[in-house]
């Protein structure tokens, strides 16, 4: 585990590293202007393929794929995809922390980062960012996995902006006083990936937009574009460990330093005025025929630690962040559950993320296969979310998940 500069900062970085279609044929999608972003996906069902996108002009914007370009990091961006045996398509956004100012962006995670180094966000694509190494929804031979026969596009994360920025930001490292820049280009990277998707998946019958941690936010911000690209599909969104609980001052930072991208067709002409805490509710209300879902543990320590850093800086406060985050999480769920097409699954404990199968119980079994709330396994709940009827897809929470915990740090 990486540590911060001592004290509560060590807990932030240590936890941050835990974040870390049918046989549809390639053809002309709604946004296909003939410019190819990357090589085509094989027509036949099969394993994972790694794609390196190139610059392309999309809707009049010339976009160049890139990671953060943090000092000492690699800028190369790529993504993964596999074609399944069903006419169903999932888009998965990877997680890996975030950064938003001179101090936080000066603490990157790279392949060269040592376990003792201070680190807060993934600044480049790591060798381990490979869906072939994961379990959970990526374990394609697991009979309990509702997505085992789906086509999947895996979008890595390396821009520090929860997949949602479109800006070159200038910062000063407070530890060295050196100026530097970060490419917060997560939104631009995905526009290239989506352009490629439209050229390789035509008329999927079902689409799931999902992601873990920072990727859960990417799933929400990019849902409208994906929905526009595949309008005939039955669609759903699932956020894994990204509840949108932030301090009141956060949204101004998000907009100024990332140029946070929200779709005007859902959030209006002044889309950036939408509070982070209200994004999912407004998204669900805008698509009443679709399904929206979130998973979290009741005391997710990584989400709590990031809330602490957003509120109080790298030193934290050691005492109030866990209660404030949990109160915000429960209040947010109550608001979102009032929207008829939204459901939540709240599990006991402090672990962070579920879908990749990297969080395990004491016996080493992925929680994806063991997690149960109110007597319902998560895999069954996910299956109900994705089913035609939605039968059994209801709000689920562990018995004591509505009780505020004692602060764990």
> What is the C-alpha separation between 91 and 70, in angstroms, rounded?
26
Q: Which H or E element spans position 62?
A: strand 61-63
Q: What is the pLDDT of residue 319?
A: 67
Q: Check residue 13 and give its pLDDT.
A: 43
* 2 domain residue, yes or no: no
The burial class, CB within 10 Å (0-12 / 13-18 / 19+), for 231 is: exposed
Q: What percent of the chain has pLDDT over 70?
A: 90
R_g of the chain computed on alpha carbons: 20
The model's confidence at residue 318, banded by pLDDT at 50, 70 and 90, is: low
Higher pLDDT, 2 or 253: 253
Which pLDDT does position 315 carry in this prediction?
Answer: 81
Higher pLDDT, 29 or 330: 330
Question: Within a domain: residue 14?
Answer: yes
Query: Residue range 166-193: average pLDDT?
Result: 98
Tens-digit pLDDT profile for residues 209-247: 999 999 999 999 999 999 999 999 999 999 999 999 999
Confidence band of 320 (pLDDT split at 50, 70, 90) = confident
Q: What mean pLDDT do residues 164-175 have?
A: 98
What pLDDT does residue 408 have?
60
pLDDT at 20 over 80: no
pLDDT at 342 over 70: yes
- Give strand pairing partners of 317: none
Q: What is the mean pLDDT of residues 41-57?
A: 97
Q: Does residue 32 or residue 87 have the better pLDDT? A: 87
In this structure, the number of other CB atoms found within 10 A of the CB of residue 279 comes to 21
- Look at residue 32 in the predicted model and tell me its pLDDT: 45
pLDDT in tens, 104-128: 999 999 999 998 898 999 999 999 9
403 within some domain: no
Burial of 360 per CB tally in 10 Å (0-12, 13-18, 19+): middle
Q: How confident is the model at residue 29 (pLDDT cuts 50, 70, 90)?
A: very low
Say yes or no to pLDDT of 31 above 90. Answer: no
Please say if the pLDDT value at position 407 is more than 80.
no
Q: Is residue 169 part of a domain?
A: yes
Question: pTM to 2 decimals?
Answer: 0.92
Interval 14-42 mean pLDDT:
54
Beta-sheet pairing, 56-58 with 396-397: unpaired
The pLDDT confidence band at residue 150, using thresholds 50, 70 and 90, is: very high
What is the average pLDDT across 376-387? Answer: 97
User: Is 300 within a domain?
Assistant: yes
Q: CATH no. for residue 53?
A: 3.40.50
Single out the residue of 235, 179, 167, 166 nearest to residue 207, CA to CA.
Answer: 235
**Predicted local distance difference test score (pLDDT) of residue 118:** 85
Mean pLDDT of 310-321: 81
Instruction: Tally the domains of the chain.
Output: 1
- Please state, in angstroms and rounded to a whole number, the distance separating the CA atoms of residues 50 and 30: 24
Q: Measured between alpha carbons, how far is 97 from 122 in angstroms, rounded to an integer?
A: 6
> What pLDDT score does 275 carry?
98
**Ramachandran bin of 359, using left for φ above 0, alpha for ψ from -120 to 50, beta for the remaining angles:** beta
| Structural domain harbouring 229 | 8-397
Residue 213, CA distances (Å) to 19, 25, 28, 192 in order: 6, 32, 33, 22
């Amino acid at each position: 585990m990486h540590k911060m500069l001592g004290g509560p900062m060590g807990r932030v970085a240590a936890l941050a590293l835990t974040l870390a279609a049918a046989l549809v044929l390639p053809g002309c999608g709604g946004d296909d202007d003939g410019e190819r972003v990357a090589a085509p996906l094989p027509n036949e069902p099969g394993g994972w393929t790694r794609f390196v996108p190139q610059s392309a002009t999309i809707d009049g914007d010339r976009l160049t794929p890139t990671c953060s370009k943090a000092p000492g990091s690699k800028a190369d961006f790529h993504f993964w995809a596999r074609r399944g045996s069903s006419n169903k398509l999932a888009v998965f956004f990877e997680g890996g922390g975030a950064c938003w100012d001179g101090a936080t962006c000066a603490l990157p995670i790279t392949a060269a980062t040592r376990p003792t180094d201070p680190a807060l966000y993934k600044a480049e694509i790591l060798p381990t960012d490979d869906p072939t190494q994961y379990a959970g929804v990526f374990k394609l031979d697991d009979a309990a996995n509702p997505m085992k026969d789906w086509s999947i596009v895996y979008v890595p994360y390396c821009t520090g902006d929860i997949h949602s920025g479109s800006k070159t930001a200038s910062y000063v490292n407070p530890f060295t006083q050196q100026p530097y820049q970060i490419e917060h280009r997560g939104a631009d990277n995905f526009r290239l990936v989506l352009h490629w998707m439209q050229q390789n998946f035509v008329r999927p019958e079902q689409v799931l937009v999902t992601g873990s941690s920072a990727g859960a936010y990417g799933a929400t911000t990019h849902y409208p574009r994906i929905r526009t690209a595949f309008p005939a599909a039955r669609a759903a969104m699932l956020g894994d460990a990204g509840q949108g609980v932030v301090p009141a001052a956060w949204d101004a930072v998000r907009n100024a330093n990332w140029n946070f991208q929200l779709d005007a067709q859902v959030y209006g002409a002044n889309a950036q005025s939408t509070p982070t805490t209200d994004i999912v509710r407004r998204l669900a209300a805008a698509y009443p025929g679709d399904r929206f879902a979130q998973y979290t543990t009741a005391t997710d320590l990584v989400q709590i630690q990031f809330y602490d850093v957003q509120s109080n800086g790298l030193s934290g406060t050691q005492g109030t962040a866990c209660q404030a985050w949990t109160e915000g999480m429960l209040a947010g769920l109550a608001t979102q559950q009032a929207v008829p097409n939204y459901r939540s699954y709240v599990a006991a404990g402090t672990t962070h993320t579920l879908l990749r199968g990297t969080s395990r119980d004491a016996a080493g079994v992925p929680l994806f296969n063991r997690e149960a709330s109110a007597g319902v396994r998560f895999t069954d709940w996910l299956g109900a979310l994705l089913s035609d009827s939605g039968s059994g897809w209801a709000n689920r929470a562990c018995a004591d998940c509505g009780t505020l915990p004692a602060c764990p740090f």
